[in-house]
Amino acid sequence: MQQYESVLKRLEKTAREYTNIAPENGQFLSILIRSIRAQNVLEIGTSNGYSAIWIAAALKETGGRLITLEFDRTRAAEAEAYLQEVGLDDIVDVRIGNALDEIPKCDTTFDLVFLDAEKNEYRRYLELALPNICPGGLIVADDTVTMRDEMLDYVEFVFNTPQLHSVDIPLDDGIILSYKTGL
Ligand SMILES: C[S@@+](CC[C@H](N)C(=O)[O-])C[C@H]1O[C@@H](n2cnc3c(N)ncnc32)[C@H](O)[C@@H]1O
């Protein structure tokens, strides 16, 4: 991560404005991606690309690729510029559009999906993405402690769907990590 550190540090100064994940959550994603040797990752909610840099840096090691979805054109352009600055733009596809329209257009099988856009849409994002997540694939949802009231339908879904094994992780604003079984 050393070559990306100065840009990540710079972006951490505006993390509140861009509602970026905490560095420890970036590290968590990075560890997961490298552990499962992920080849294809989907991120829902790019903002200015802070988490995309963490994800893409890990994918650089595994030889994988990231599709990241953002409907705010300005933010998507900022993300593209930062990814270019750190030399990760070639493995990241920043798609501009509403995730609810864009997810069904993805014909990739994902090893990991990271949910970080509208909290009350997490369940819809996951239901749309689930057929394209491979058995053994992971779903990481952010803000699951601080914004839980807005995603109660998601919490109900991931803890009550037999195909998913889920756990609450109190890391920064909270994460729910789910594993898709082969059932
Ligand atoms: C919490 S921020 C993402 C932060 C980013 N993952 C990071 O840590 O650097 C959520 C982003 O999702 C975008 N967003 C919200 N709803 C969306 C939707 N339906 N489709 C695409 N993007 C959406 C917002 O514009 C915002 O930039």
CATH code of the domain in which 61 resides: 3.40.50.150
Tell me the residue range of the domain where 94 lies. 2-180
Global pTM value: 0.98
Structural domain count, the chain: 1
8 Å CB contact between 64 and 87: no
| pLDDT score of 26 more than 90 | yes
The rounded Å distance from CA 72 to ligand 1 centre is 8
Q: Which residue's CA is the closest to the ligand 1 atom numbered 17?
A: 117
For residue 143, which atom of ligand 1 is closest to its CA?
1
Q: Identify the band that residue 3 occupies on the pLDDT scale cut at 50, 70 and 90.
A: confident
Average the pLDDT over 39-50 and give the result: 98
> The dihedral of CA 39, 133, 28, 102: what is its sign?
positive
Q: Is 134 near ligand 1, meaning CB less than 6 Å away?
A: no
Q: Is 36 near ligand 1, meaning CB less than 6 Å away?
A: no
The rounded Å distance from CA 52 to ligand 1 centre is 11
Question: Over the chain, what is the mean pLDDT?
Answer: 97
